[in-house]
Structure 1
Amino acid sequence: MDKPSDATVGSLNETQPAALSPQYVRYALWVLLIIYTLNFVDRQIVSILAGPIKQELGISDGQLGMLIGIAFAFFYTVLGIPIARLAERGNRPLIISTAVIVWSGFTALCGLAQNFTQLLLARIGVGVGEAGCTPPAHSLISDYVPAEKRASAIAFYSLGVPVGTALGYVVGAFIAHHYGWRTAFFAVGIPGVIIGLIAFYTLKEPRKLGLVQVGTAASAPSLSQTAKELTSRKSYWYAVGAATMISFLGYGHASFLPIFLARVHGMALDQIGYAMAIMTFVAGVAGTMLGGIAADRAAKNDTRAYMTVPLLAFIAGAPFFWAGMFVEGTLACIILLSIPTLLNAVWYGPVYAAVQGLVRPQSRATAVALMLFVVNMVGLGAGPTAVGFMSDLFAAQHFATLAPAGSEFASFCAKGAATAGDSLCKASQAEGIRWSLTVSTAVGLLVIGFFLLARATIKQDLEATAKETAAA
């Protein structure tokens, strides 16, 4: 990683937003990537620790889905908008560094939980902290790099999703396997405090350096003005719809694939961690960078590529996911699931870059926050929660076809209740998660529809924004 260097003096316009030295920009992007990586380590680690947590605390798949989903997502999304408003005119590095320290502290506190309620409250705290990360980070990146490199830069930052998820899997599995799930929370939470301090002391705010216009309460558009601006950009809302539905599937599936591999393929915790880490890291990183590079190149000739590239990638991945759900071999399953993992990561760079181009510079953080409000409330909040409760439902239905008359799945298979019928419970839970993951893919029809609508309108919307920005 390059060490930070002083900013150089230069002019500011839409194609050259900030005259920071290339070495410093690279350093800053690496710091932001590390922060976003920790963001996803702390967000997703519950998925790999689900087995031992369920066993010790006696919670259901539905409750597990709440811990990963709505408990985190509600406060994460609600607080994201006021924090983004602050980022429109405030010190973005300060906001980001404070957020890292807060969510890292609450992640460590998860390791002290003695019941579902306590773990739920700690997860809420993680969501509160993480609300201060992405909107100001996207806004900051847009001031660090020129417009024609924005998709690639945001794609680089978005590598935090696969890298952080992969690290959460492997680190969480290794530590939980050897030292217990509580220690795993401590181990991933504490480093964030250190990174937060590094960000505070080394990340530069272009506004303070005079490289971009400093927003004020009078100059920054109000939330209603930004909403009105976005109302005229149909492609923004279509892109939000596509991102929301693909996130519903992404978060829902990623949260329960470790459980699927354990129940259906009989893999041990450490094996699942390594398999998921390799699959997420290799395929996720490749897909994220591929999406950013491909969209940047294709958009030079046709800006509709920002929607076309992720649309085609999503469609291509679906058959491989379905095959992975029903193939018998464990290795074949992992290979098949790696393909949609790669292809479903393509959307990050193109879609977020398009959003940055659909609003004026002073509205970018709010535009991202509004997008994340919808994406995370529905995608992150409802995705894991829906998959978890559907798993309980399908498991109960499967149990009812095989169990003795009068037996109920919830009581018969509760913690410590199953004895001779343990194999029946395990078989029912395996089929429950398999069919929950499979049936949930029907949401993909909405993904395709939103991408097609966005593709039909984005070209004229980008042109309209560029004209308004130039005239301002």
Structure 2
Amino acid sequence: MATGSDAAAVGGDVGRPPAGANRSWFVLATLTFVYILNFLDRQLIGILAKPIQDSLQITDGQLGLIGGLYFAMFYCFIAIPVGWFADRTSRVGVLSLACAIWSGATVACGLAANYAQLVVARMTVGFGEAGGVPPSYAIITDTYPPGKRAAALGVFNLGPAIGAALGVAFGASIADRFGWRIPFIIVGAIGVVTALFVWLFIREPKKGAMDGARGVGASDKAPFWPTVGAFLSNPVLMLASLGSGATQFVTYGLGNFAVLYLMREKGMEFGDVAVWYALVLLLGMGGGMVISGRVIDAMTRRSRSGYAVAPAVSLAIAMPFYIGFVWAPGWPLALALLAVVMVFNYFYLSASVALVQEEVKPNQRVLSGALLLLIMNFIGLGLGPTWVGFASDWFKAQGDTQSLQSALYTLTPFYLIAIGLFVALARRLRREQSAMEPGA
């Protein structure tokens, strides 16, 4: 990783803001592609679950641990020191090195000969991916001004949708012909090349360049523990993080087992998955990301409570469609219902990220983004898939022939928890805004 003394050599001209709209879009497009690779790799375990299970003889519970707790142990907690380091040095340098690490580990996943080796490889992937998203959040925030950030972050957050769709289409098609190991090796190799591209062609933007008066002092190095303490003691930031975590408990619990569920209990084949499930992810999740960014920008111009109202309403819409997806007797109806779920499940992401980035000082943005990811991903990514995997094993032990269906039903209460947290956040934001109005 780059140090403060050599940061000027990393990623071009450090300290210079983006040169116009073309540069802004170039940066956004490049970071989005990195995020696509990040999420594509993360989804390969779930997409290729059935052949991996058949090859390595692992249970649903073990599969849930690989995609959940084992991955999240490194992904969540390493993000904190990485975020602190990136805030003090070069965010572009940290992102480039992180991409190289997780991509090399992805190749190792494809070479794993047993469950233990796959666990170690996935933990290393988590270690690398910890340095991917928080620096990107901060780079985008210092590239786009307030009022345009949620839309820009909405485009960036297309990464999971495109990555998941490409993972399904690419992973399922290649695995069907050449086995489950080859997709890991190809994706890892592409990632290593991309890491070099980021290092060479992305400039480090000036901290706080787009914040006007708030950018004053952005070059100061934020102290670690006071920044952590300020985040954890801020009710707005904590409600956003916990609401996002409860939402991700559903999205990751579903995402890591959806393909296995559709194939094992709904009768889909790899060919069907590669086309139809990929389209649902791309159009549903991708459409939701784009729509959510624009909706949130429009709502927050009137009131900051839009950062919480939008995800609360969207999750209330998604919940009955999710229940219908799990209940559906065949995969065509299940996919149609899942498309609606995907559109409304992800409004929380752009909202929470934009809120956190605007709530903190410019020199605290990477560390604060990492803290947001720590809380929401440890709850969602770490515990969601783990819960579903062990719940499925438990239902199977009770003689349930549709054990994954029963396990997925158990995610429904977390919709209600997430909605409640975002409603509480909306009330908090309204009170704060009222207190700041003249004459309050």
TM-score (norm 1): 0.85
Given residue 404 of structure 2, which amino acid in structure 1 is its aligned partner?
A: I
Which residue of the partner structure matches residue 453 of structure 1?
424
CA distance in 2 between partners of 1:461 and 1:164 (Å): 37
Asked whether the 8 Å contact 2:325–2:333 carries over to 1, the reply is yes
C-alpha deviation, 1:334, in angstroms: 0.6
CA distance in 1 between partners of 2:174 and 2:110 (Å): 12
C-alpha deviation, 1:464, in angstroms: 9.0
Asked whether the 8 Å contact 2:101–2:125 carries over to 1, the reply is yes
C-alpha deviation, 1:27, in angstroms: 0.3
CA distance in 2 between partners of 1:93 and 1:465 (Å): 36
Which residue of the partner structure matches residue 408 of structure 2?
437
RMSD of aligned C-alpha atoms?
Answer: 2.2
Q: Which moved more, 1:33-42 or 1:299-308?
A: 299-308
1:373 aligns with 2:344: no
CA distance in 2 between partners of 1:225 and 1:355 (Å): 16
Change (3 A) 1:120 1:228: closer
Which residue of the partner structure matches residue 238 of structure 2?
237
Q: Which moved more, 1:137-146 or 1:356-365?
A: 356-365
Which residue of the partner structure matches residue 99 of structure 1?
98
CA distance in 2 between partners of 1:464 and 1:153 (Å): 29
1:331 aligns with 2:302: no
Asked whether the 8 Å contact 2:18–2:24 carries over to 1, the reply is no
Change (3 A) 1:110 1:297: same
- Taking the TM superposition and a 5 Å limit, the aligned residue runs for 1:163-242 are 163-207=162-206, 219-242=220-243
Q: Which has the higher contact order (CA 8 A, sep 6+)?
A: 2
Residue 347 of structure 1 aligns to a residue whose secondary structure is: helix
Asked whether the 8 Å contact 1:107–1:126 carries over to 2, the reply is yes
Residue 129 of structure 1 aligns to a residue whose secondary structure is: helix
Change (3 A) 1:81 1:461: farther
C-alpha deviation, 1:367, in angstroms: 1.1
Given residue 326 of structure 1, which amino acid in structure 2 is its aligned partner?
A: W
CA distance in 1 between partners of 2:57 and 2:436 (Å): 53
Post-superposition CA distance 1:308-364 (Å, at most 9, x none): 011101010111111121222321111011111110022221121111111111111
Given residue 334 of structure 1, which amino acid in structure 2 is its aligned partner?
A: L
Which residue of the partner structure matches residue 392 of structure 1?
393
Given residue 169 of structure 2, which amino acid in structure 1 is its aligned partner?
A: V
Given residue 397 of structure 1, which amino acid in structure 2 is its aligned partner?
A: Q
C-alpha deviation, 1:442, in angstroms: 1.3
Which residue of the partner structure matches residue 411 of structure 1?
none
C-alpha deviation, 1:70, in angstroms: 1.1
Q: Which has the larger radius of gyration?
A: 1
Unaligned runs of at least 5 residues, structure 1:
1-5, 11-17, 400-427, 467-472
TM-score (norm 2): 0.91
Asked whether the 8 Å contact 2:218–2:361 carries over to 1, the reply is no
CA distance in 1 between partners of 2:341 and 2:256 (Å): 15
Which residue of the partner structure matches residue 287 of structure 1?
288
Which residue of the partner structure matches residue 37 of structure 2?
38
Which residue of the partner structure matches residue 143 of structure 2?
144
Post-superposition CA distance 1:258-306 (Å, at most 9, x none): 1111122211123223222111110011101111100101111111111
Post-superposition CA distance 1:232-275 (Å, at most 9, x none): 53111111111001011100101111111112221112322322
Which residue of the partner structure matches residue 264 of structure 1?
265
